[in-house]
Structure 1
Amino acid sequence: MSGTRATGTDGGAAHDGAPGGPAPGGTEHLTVRREGATLVLTLNRPEARNALSLPMLVGLYDGWLAADEDEDIRSIVLTGSGGAFCAGMDLKALAGGGMAGEEYRDRLTADPDLHWKAMLRHHRPRKPVIAAVEGVCVAGGTEILQGTDIRVAAESATFGLFEVRRGLFPIGGSTVRLQRQIPRTHALEMLLTGRPYTAREAAAVGLVGHVVPDGDALGKALEIAELVNACGPLAVEAVKASVYATAGMTESDGLAAELERGWPVFATADAKEGARAFAEKRPPVYRRA
């Protein structure tokens, strides 16, 4: 991959995948580190409130792939640096005709859908993705959020799809996905007014699941990730896949698809280990088998 390699969130160079330390990969606007079995991806352009850039999009896409390819990773946490999640598209750069990190342009040329995959529009990781939101999460930030599975927001976080206020269209998937995730009347109000929403408002309509004190979003997300990590990984991934695969089906078709995906899980060694550990009153040791 072209361009400067990442530094970890602690400022050190990315060197290995040790728990709690930097992990391989990332870019200057997207840092990657391991927290046990969780891969933490941090949008890292605080001077622009983590507005999208080419290095950020490339780093995100590579991060989703890395998490799915590493069988020791059981969950992903997405967060932002500098007290912000993501302010969306860099409108100043757009007006000026370019985005930061043009040296990554070859990646987009090779895969014209890379930016959509990075924003989780055309791509769904098989590992659960937990968002930890502090500060602004608007426009493209709210669009990326809709691609995550579990969402934690700090008390002062702000959400919204501001595109119509700028004469733009929220083309990251919001006109399709938002109405499937929150009641349509709320989805349309958010889309058509372009107004900001507080964390409490976002929780009230179901856009986020937890509201925590400022500064605690990442901690809460990692706490949830640990609960996910303690479960059987084959079961977790099958459950996530089933939820999304059956979302557009009729109930009868969905139930049939659920059986087709779920029954094989019962035949795994992990399923037997779960039952054995319960009987023996000990934590299970899952081996993804």
Structure 2
Amino acid sequence: MVLQVEIDKHVALVRLNRTEARNSLNPELIVRLAECWQSLRDDVDVRAIVLTGAEGSTFCAGFDLGRFIPLLTGARQAEDEWDHRIVADGGLAGRATLRDFDLERPLIVAANGHAIAGGMELLLAGDLRLVAAGARLGLSEVRLGLIPAMGGTARLARLMPPALAAELLLTGSPIAAERALEAGFVNRCEAPERVLDTALELAREIAANAPLAVQAARDVMRRSADLSVVEALALEAEHSQKLAATEDAVEGPRAFLEKRPPVFQGR
């Protein structure tokens, strides 16, 4: 399978599995990713998601230059089921890369290797970003006559210093994971063999919290960037009022006073 999904105790692990092609996104993987995200969002038992790549030096090399890009430009005609689905639904790539789809729960991207082009855009889509030491991160599209069109151009300067974002976008040259850490773009820079374990630890920590509160905090944080302070505070107050009426808001303080771990139900 080009995509592997495991769910354990409220945490979903999604693994890109095209090691022979540096986990690049071909039509089948694009379709399966889009379907996977929809399925996970619909699963109320899933509270946190980790995305990683199969073992190797590359997390994701972006869109498959031999299969997807020629289909996109019209240089290649649809040949199989996956090709035809891409042609029939122009929104699949945007949903697969989370440009046009909100998971409504935290996504931790564990880049176990290089993240280039569409792979970097998947990294940009994460709420938390963990990267392997020595990995290279870049948006190379201008070298191919394109721009990052799955959120890369729009999101990059929001998540790292504008000068560094401009360097990445305009030169097409990648930067080292260590430089991305210094710039505050990634949360951790770990040894390659530790990236996934650390990501899963963070996911379990998040999943142990009240899920409705986590979703609300994430929603306010993400949407506030496009709001005035007054509007953001109003959104915060709206979520706070709704949460105060939940069972989990009763359970949390009660468990604290009773000196026991809370048992949150998501209601």
Q: Report the AA paired with residue 286 of structure 1.
A: F
Aligned to 1:17: none
Q: Secondary structure at the match of 2:60?
A: coil
Task: Answer yes or no: is 1:53 the counterpart of 2:26.
Answer: yes
Change (3 A) 1:90 1:106: closer
Which of 129, 134, 145 is 2:112 aligned to? 134
Taking structure 2 as the reference length, the TM-score comes to 0.93
Q: What secondary structure does 1:208 align onto?
A: coil
* Matching residue within 15, 40, 43 for 1:42: 15
Deviation at 1:262, TM superposition (A): 2.0
Which one has more relative contact order, counting CA pairs under 8 Å at least 6 apart? 2
Q: Contact 1:134 / 1:156 at 8 angstroms: preserved in 2?
A: no
CA separation in 2, counterparts of 1:99 and 1:161?
A: 26
Q: Does residue 65 of structure 1 match 2:32?
A: no
| 2:51 corresponds to | 78
Residue in structure 2 matched with residue 223 of structure 1 by the alignment: 201
| Offset of residue 140 of structure 1 | 0.6
Which whole-Å CA distance do the structure 1 matches of 2:176 and 2:90 have between them? Answer: 34
Question: Which residue does the alignment assign to 1:12?
Answer: none
- Residues 243, 249 of structure 2: 8 Å contact kept: yes
Corresponding residue for residue 114 of structure 1: 92
Superposition deviation, residue 145 in structure 1: 1.2
Residue in structure 2 matching 1:91, options 65, 74, 77: 65
Q: Is the 8 A contact 2:129 2:188 kept in 1?
A: yes
Query: What CA RMSD, in Å, does the superposition of the two structures yield over aligned residues?
Result: 1.8
Cα offsets for 1:1-40 (capped at 9, x unmatched): xxxxxxxxxxxxxxxxxxxxxxxxxxx3111112321111
Tell me how far apart the structure 2 counterparts of residues 102 and 200 of structure 1 sit (CA, whole Å): 41
Q: How does 1:1-289 map to 2 (within 5 A)?
A: 28-83=1-56, 84-93=58-67, 94=69, 97-98=75-76, 102-289=80-267
Measure, in 2, the Cα distance between the counterparts of 1:268 and 1:98.
53
**How far apart are residue 85 of structure 1 and its match?**
0.9
TM-score under structure 1 length normalisation: 0.86
Q: Note if contact 1:29-1:53 (Cα within 8 Å) is conserved in structure 2.
A: no
Residues in 2 aligned to 1:195 and 1:133: alpha-carbon distance in whole angstroms = 18
Matched to 1:45, the amino acid is: R
Post-superposition, which runs of at least 4 consecutive aligned residues in structure 1 deviate over 6 A? none
Unaligned ranges ≥5, structure 1: 1-27
- How far residue 137 of structure 1 moved from its aligned partner, in angstroms, is 0.5
Q: Percent of counterpart pairs with the same letter?
A: 40
The one-letter code sitting in structure 1 at the alignment partner of 2:209 is: C
Give the length in aligned residue pairs.
Answer: 262
Mapped to 2, the partners of 1:70 and 1:92 lie a distance apart of 34
More off after superposition, 247-256 vs 225-234: 247-256
